[in-house]
Structure 1
Amino acid sequence: MSSAPAAGKPAARGPSSWAPLSARVFRSLWLAQLGSNVGTWMQTVGAQWMLVHQPNAAVLTSAVQAASLLPVLFLSLPAGVLSDVLDRRTLLITLSAVMAALSGVLTVLTAAGLTTPAVLITLTFAMGCGSALMGPGWQAIQPELVPRAQIPAAAALGSLNVNIARAVGPAAAGVIVALTGPAVVFGINSVSFLGVVAALALWRRTRTTAGTPERLRPALESGLRYVRHAPGVRRVMLRSALFVLPASALWGLLPVVSSSRLGLSAGGYGLLLAALGVGAIVGAVTIKRVRTALGTNVLLALSTCAFAAGTAAAAVLREPWAVAALLVLTGVGWLYALSTLNTTLQLALPSWVRARALAVYLMVFMGGQGIGTLVWGVIANEAGVPPTLLAAAALLLLGCASLLWWPVHKVTGTLDRTIVAPWPEPALTLTPAEAAEGPVLVEVSYRVPDDRVPAFRTAMSALSVSRRRTGASRWGLFRALEDPGTWIEVFEVPSWGEHLRQHEGRITGYDAELVERARELADGTPVVRHLLPPGTREGPGAPEEPGAREG
């Protein structure tokens, strides 16, 4: 947030909502993604409409959406690790080509009349696996394409992209399916992935990863450790789950509402989805002003209430035009909620762990949508569609009320997450032979006057979270009985390589502030020691340089 302008000077305006599109690479990838999203929504309509007249339609149509989303639960984390460790551009090109091939197979089988419900759900699941593997990498490249100040606008444009596709794709698919059948829309989706391949191939990405790439298992563990010790990130995950689990009922059951309750054709169902998309476009255009005026938590509350209203409308109204009108409001709420959660998280994450943390977010949001869709479909099959949708609307309102107790933290997304290097390389007499040697025990000794002890302990409590977030598996603070003015901070890092990564690229500006705050409360320079198990193999070392070393 910028400070108030000086007297007599006009307030500085933030970046335009459309500013990211001025960047050539962002623009080309955005347009390619728009084509792919249109194709994906066309395929979704075609797939669901193939099943809407089958016995147990509520379960089957929900199963199609669940099949596309559930792979996020078990693939998102490995995908996040791969996106942080490997070249994201190459990974995305490969996966996009695989997705094009899978959609091509579905096209051929459908044209030949061989696509049974089981085949359709199986291939949808396979493509869901591809989407799950692509998701963290696609999210993580966004801050590489635009300046930090434009990240909120880029996130809003990303949501706008999806929802323009939602407005155009289903309506077009409804017409095409009615005229020719679903095979054509499946073929269009296959071709759309080739546009993504071309746009990514033309992007000459600047490699920003320093040092030796992390191994997969330690990278996974460090990513989960970061999320576990980042309170603001955890709260965003909680808000995502409380919203998407009940919201998924409308997405999963809308095909059945359209066919059995409203008596609409494939084209009518496409228009209902288009109404959601139009609302989301309105939301994307207005979100910057609304978020500035209302703030994050009020905006999330209004978004949740709007989605609850649309869910209830689908349960009780019989007039298609009335349902469509309320679905426009519902689309606004969906965009506001999704963009707010995504933007807050993007701004809260440092680059070194961004894809891994976003993978956890995608597990919660998309995985929650997949589980919720399947569960609501089963419930609707037993209890009926209207009672199920009304129950989901009630849960949305309860989730809205929970903002009183579990709001998004005000500082989330505002802290300095720029990577800095406040710690020089440790100068040691002996060094471990391998990066995997460990664990490493780091001991930092402080001299703290009695009158500063309360402030010092408060500062160290905040620093303990930072140490764990950046690599420490254990942390403790101790006071010397022989010399009460001496305080010893001890933290354990799983390996020597992990500790060097703390030096090389994990400390953000905010982490450095926490270290400096603790040091300012101590007299003199803290004394640091690095301790390893006695069986550690030794490599070449250098004599210790004069002066203490932090970390």
Structure 2
Amino acid sequence: MTARAEPPGGGAGDEGEGAGRDADSSAWAPLRLPTYRTLWCAQLGSNVGTWMQTVGAQWMLVHQPNAPTLTSLVQAASLLPVLFLSLPAGVLADVLDRRRLLIALSVAMAAVSTALAVLTAAGLTTPTVLIALVFLMGCGSALSGPGWQAIQPELVPRAQIPAAAALGSLNVNLARAVGPALAGVLVAATGTDVVFGINAASFLGVVAALAVWHRATAPAGGAPERMRSALSAGTRYVRNAPGVRRVLLRAALFVLPASALWGLLPVVSSQRLHQGAGGYGLLLGALGVGAIAGAVTVKRVRAALDRNVLLALSSAAFAAGSAVAALVTQPAVVALVLVMTGAGWLYALSTLNTTLQLALPSWVRARGLAVYLMVFMGGQGVGSLVWGLVANATSTRAALLAATALLLLTAASLAVWPMHARTGTFDRDVVAPWPEPMLAFDRTADDAADGPVLVEVTYEVPVERLPEFRAAMAALAVSRRRTGASHWSLYRDAEQPTTWVEAFQVPSWQEHLRQHESRLTAYDAELAARAGALSTTGPRVRHLIAPVGRAGGAGPHQAGRGGRHEGGPP
């Protein structure tokens, strides 16, 4: 588990454990579902252990030369693996058994944590060894993060998504309130090796919870996606989902300056406030207490405020915490302001997480969440490293004040780049409105030998409907690319001006079948129906397939054998 970014705790499907009963949208409803409750408790234990390890690792380095850089490196080492592992991890979570994948990764992280505890007890943990092992732990977290988030839709119904997202944030922040304070006491009384050992044991609880869980839903039918095509499909979806892209932008703009406080708080506690490990744990606990208060109140606050206003207030609250950490030397005052800062952190992450979960369809959920984790956690890792270097070159105070200014600019930027009002409101349930296209010849199912497919859809559009048709096709083009098309074009017949031809290319026949079977949401189907309704005749569809073993050109005009049918969907 990771203690750096709250997971998008809920899902966007109706296949969850509680889907068959009346939807209960109360804040605690997901905890009434036994499987969700068991996994939530296991995650809480693991998050407490992770926060304890973070405090122990940072405190081992806080008195070293170049302490701002070294303590920031601890956070960076745990988060930077997300940048290069999260997206492949999302692909793995979408094509493999997620439960088995998570069990294997939890066992691996328990082994690394045990090695860290043993080496520390033997006095062999140098700063280099510590950062290297924290990096390995970060790799495990990066690989497990998308899979952990993707199983959530199997646990709760759609109506409980906001409550599950808030509970996911509450989980991490409850651990943030308890773990650092407990770690501070144990580090002072026993040593960091005990803290590392507790973290190793916490992963075993996750393994046990996953081992007793019997998934209620079967994996989707059809041939499994290959890694390369699945990776391409996931990145293609994100590129062509404006609402998802805006969530990613807001996450990056918030977390990059906010990471300064997380990375430099150990140095602030030790060098400016003259606190020991226990005092640092209490400062982190103040952030956790504020986040818990935010989780309890977020439903009412979200109902009263527009999400853009809420994000702006969250950035301002974190700016206040950064400024106080830079300027104030009274620990009690700093802790009091950090409670408000923790609430702002919770409000920001809950808003981003809930919006993202509602925006992603089930077929690409893990990959979409992986990109989010790359941006948020990777951004926090890069930011922590950069702010540590800035503080080392200038001063901790100067770095925190610079981060404060950037957070205020982040709040102001919402006037230019707000969250889209309709993001998360479209129907993202996967539907199968189109029958499987028929082939007049045998076709191998092997993607390696499966060449590109060109789909042509012909429409007859009266002149008076052209403006409406052009607008409908612009929206449909984004949908085609989102669900699998690598190229899309719209042509007008030079001899028959009322005839329009939509042409889009899909990388393989299997990819096109997935468009029919598992990638179209109700919203995508609505866009296609809207365009088709403007044609005076039913859309005429033709599939052109490159011969097996001949990939042909990459452009949308590559032709091959195919067939035509009238009045049907692509």
Output the TM-score relative to the length of structure 2. 0.92
Kindly provide the CA deviation profile for residues 394-448 of structure 1, in whole angstroms up to 9, marking residues without a partner as x: 0000011000010110111111000000110112323433442221000000111
Paired residue secondary structure (2:538): strand
Q: How far apart are 1:544 and its partner, in Å?
A: 7.2
**Aligned with 1:439 (options 452, 471, 482):** 452
Worse overlay, 510-519 or 14-23 = 14-23
Counterpart of 2:395, as a letter, is: G
1:367-516 matches, cutoff 5 A: 367-436=378-447, 437-516=450-529
Would the aligned equivalents of 2:542 and 2:563 in 1 still touch at CA under 8 Å? no
Per the alignment, residue 329 of structure 2 pairs with: 318
| Matches of 2:323 and 2:394, distance apart in 1 | 16
Kindly provide the CA deviation profile for residues 321-365 of structure 1, in whole angstroms up to 9, marking residues without a partner as x: 000000000000000001110110011000100000110000000
Would the aligned equivalents of 1:248 and 1:372 in 2 still touch at CA under 8 Å? yes
Q: How far apart are 1:13 and its partner, in Å?
A: 10
Counterpart of 1:550, as a letter, is: P
| Matches of 1:167 and 1:145, distance apart in 2 | 26
| Residue 167 of structure 2 is aligned to residue 135 of structure 1 | no
Would the aligned equivalents of 1:435 and 1:496 in 2 still touch at CA under 8 Å? no
Per the alignment, residue 65 of structure 2 pairs with: 55
Kindly provide the CA deviation profile for residues 56-115 of structure 1, in whole angstroms up to 9, marking residues without a partner as x: 100000001100000000000110000000011110010001011110000100111110
Cα distance 1:245–1:545, how it changes in 2: closer, same or farther (>3 A)?
A: closer
Counterpart of 2:244, as a letter, is: V
**Aligned with 1:296 (options 307, 330, 354):** 307
Cα distance 1:201–1:342, how it changes in 2: closer, same or farther (>3 A)?
A: same
| Residue 86 of structure 2 is aligned to residue 73 of structure 1 | no
Per the alignment, residue 242 of structure 1 pairs with: 253
Counterpart of 2:495, as a letter, is: E
| Matches of 2:441 and 2:567, distance apart in 1 | 16
| Matches of 2:259 and 2:459, distance apart in 1 | 52
| Matches of 2:147 and 2:220, distance apart in 1 | 14
Paired residue secondary structure (2:539): strand
| Matches of 1:233 and 1:545, distance apart in 2 | 35
1:207-218 matches, cutoff 5 A: 207-218=218-229
| Matches of 2:333 and 2:221, distance apart in 1 | 56
Per the alignment, residue 275 of structure 1 pairs with: 286
Per the alignment, residue 550 of structure 1 pairs with: 569
Per the alignment, residue 46 of structure 2 pairs with: 36
Cα distance 1:546–1:356, how it changes in 2: closer, same or farther (>3 A)?
A: closer
Per the alignment, residue 559 of structure 2 pairs with: none
Would the aligned equivalents of 2:23 and 2:159 in 1 still touch at CA under 8 Å? no
Per the alignment, residue 199 of structure 2 pairs with: 189
Would the aligned equivalents of 1:244 and 1:369 in 2 still touch at CA under 8 Å? yes
Cα distance 1:232–1:431, how it changes in 2: closer, same or farther (>3 A)?
A: farther
| Residue 244 of structure 2 is aligned to residue 230 of structure 1 | no
1:244-259 matches, cutoff 5 A: 244-259=255-270
| Matches of 1:534 and 1:102, distance apart in 2 | 50
Paired residue secondary structure (1:524): coil
Per the alignment, residue 360 of structure 1 pairs with: 371
| Matches of 2:65 and 2:286, distance apart in 1 | 28
1:141-160 matches, cutoff 5 A: 141-160=151-170
| Matches of 1:350 and 1:508, distance apart in 2 | 7
Cα distance 1:388–1:449, how it changes in 2: closer, same or farther (>3 A)?
A: same
Kindly provide the CA deviation profile for residues 275-310 of structure 1, in whole angstroms up to 9, marking residues without a partner as x: 000000000000011011102111101101000000
Per the alignment, residue 274 of structure 2 pairs with: 263
**Aligned with 2:105 (options 95, 100, 124):** 95
Would the aligned equivalents of 1:435 and 1:495 in 2 still touch at CA under 8 Å? no
**Aligned with 1:337 (options 342, 348, 370):** 348
| Matches of 1:374 and 1:209, distance apart in 2 | 41
Paired residue secondary structure (1:432): coil
Paired residue secondary structure (1:136): helix
Q: How far apart are 1:373 and its partner, in Å?
A: 0.1
**Aligned with 1:176 (options 154, 168, 186):** 186
**Aligned with 2:55 (options 42, 45, 57):** 45
The sequence identity of aligned pairs, in percent, is 71
Kindly provide the CA deviation profile for residues 512-534 of structure 1, in whole angstroms up to 9, marking residues without a partner as x: 00001001111121110001235
Would the aligned equivalents of 1:72 and 1:129 in 2 still touch at CA under 8 Å? yes
Unpaired runs of at least 5, structure 2: 1-21, 551-561
Per the alignment, residue 4 of structure 1 pairs with: none
| Matches of 1:238 and 1:216, distance apart in 2 | 26
| Matches of 1:414 and 1:142, distance apart in 2 | 19
| Matches of 2:522 and 2:324, distance apart in 1 | 48
Q: How far apart are 1:536 and its partner, in Å?
A: 5.7
Would the aligned equivalents of 1:349 and 1:417 in 2 still touch at CA under 8 Å? yes
Output the TM-score relative to the length of structure 1. 0.96
Q: How far apart are 1:547 and its partner, in Å?
A: 4.4
| Matches of 2:548 and 2:564, distance apart in 1 | 25
| Matches of 2:221 and 2:355, distance apart in 1 | 26
Kindly provide the CA deviation profile for residues 16-35 of structure 1, in whole angstroms up to 9, marking residues without a partner as x: 01100011110000000000
Worse overlay, 291-300 or 242-251 = 291-300
| Matches of 1:262 and 1:186, distance apart in 2 | 26
| Residue 553 of structure 2 is aligned to residue 523 of structure 1 | no
1:19-34 matches, cutoff 5 A: 19-34=29-44
Counterpart of 2:400, as a letter, is: L
Paired residue secondary structure (2:490): strand
Would the aligned equivalents of 1:473 and 1:491 in 2 still touch at CA under 8 Å? yes
Worse overlay, 249-258 or 294-303 = 294-303
| Matches of 2:305 and 2:23, distance apart in 1 | 18
The count of aligned residue pairs is 537
Q: How far apart are 1:548 and its partner, in Å?
A: 3.5
| Matches of 1:534 and 1:42, distance apart in 2 | 59
| Matches of 2:136 and 2:252, distance apart in 1 | 24
| Matches of 2:268 and 2:487, distance apart in 1 | 53
Unpaired runs of at least 5, structure 1: 1-11, 538-542
Worse overlay, 424-433 or 503-512 = 424-433
Paired residue secondary structure (2:151): helix
Q: How far apart are 1:545 and its partner, in Å?
A: 9.4
**Aligned with 1:107 (options 113, 117, 121):** 117
Paired residue secondary structure (1:477): strand
Paired residue secondary structure (2:64): coil
| Matches of 1:137 and 1:191, distance apart in 2 | 21
Counterpart of 1:91, as a letter, is: L
Would the aligned equivalents of 1:280 and 1:335 in 2 still touch at CA under 8 Å? yes
Paired residue secondary structure (2:456): strand
Counterpart of 1:521, as a letter, is: L
